[in-house]
Structure 1
Amino acid sequence: METPTKRPLLKTISSNSFRLRSPSLNSVRLRRIFDLYDTNHDSFITIDEISRALTLLGLDADKSDLDSMIKSYIHPGNAGLTYNDFVSLHSSINDLLFGLEDLQKPAATKEEQEESDLKEAFKVFDENGDGFISAKELQMVLGKLGFTEATEMERVKMMISSVDLNHDGKVDFSEFRDMMRVLDQ
């Protein structure tokens, strides 16, 4: 039986979904990824945890390559990457993968960029990807961000109902976009 060849990790993850243009959205998404990788919830992501996560994603990275790439981001005495180390690693990979692409791509109009950023923001809240933000999803994101409102489902439901124009108990992208535009004024 033939064993699959291992591709360099950086070449296999070069996609626009890896990068977000809005720093605050990137922070929320990176926190979610960090929490998913930190399988034992010790606030560190080890090389083994990253390797397992990449394997589950279908990205078979050579563990020694992974170790050499990540080792410089792990502070001496730590078992793995802290969240801040993970952010630094992500930033370096982002610069490496997308730095030249930004120079070659025509600039998006302000409206196109705004729409794109809003779609990315919506995806952060729409955790199950069904096209709606439910009260439960909003509660999860607020909790990860440390907002006290996350502890009271009634307050979360009130937040949903305040922007839920069609009264279906969920926020769709159009309602989300309208809410964000009002907040931006």
Structure 2
Amino acid sequence: MESNGESKKVERQSSSFRLRSPSLNALRLQRIFDLFDKNGDGFITVEELSQALSRLGLDADLSDVKSTVESYIQPGNTGLNFDDFSSLHKTLDDSFFGGAAAGECDESSPNSAAAAEESDLVEAFKVFDENGDGFISARELQAVLKKLGLPEGGEMERVEKMIVSVDRNQDGRVDFFEFKNMMRAVVIPS
């Protein structure tokens, strides 16, 4: 059980879900980089990036990916190193979202920040809730983990343990409230 003090702490810091904190952004970007860098050589090749996008259900044309990415690869390198990947991410963020991730540090409007966070959480929940019934089942979680190429996606027992760890009412599935609590716990440093 959480005390009121802990609950308030979570509410106060929950805007970090949108990763306005540079250190959280860097950590998330590093995790994404590591996921895409399949062979762990410290570079993301055009092929690795294309495969990752494909696993996420984004069928990008290889030549388009190549033309976008190659200008960020430093001469002599086989792919994007982390700094190159970070630069590419920043450029895409600025182009498509007007640098929204950096520009949303304004804490003067907590209501709009909370609304934006809630909206992000709803969208993230929908990604997992494939059948739209308002719950994430072990099968749905496993499907997403497989699409992301994560080893946990191959073992239903591990997926079920992940569900149990956040399933507060023990109904065998995760509702939006449980999902929201889990996401807030994940992004708040202990």
TM-score by length of 2: 0.48
Taking structure 1 as the reference length, what is the TM-score of the superposition?
A: 0.48
Higher relative contact order (CA 8 A, sep 6+): 2
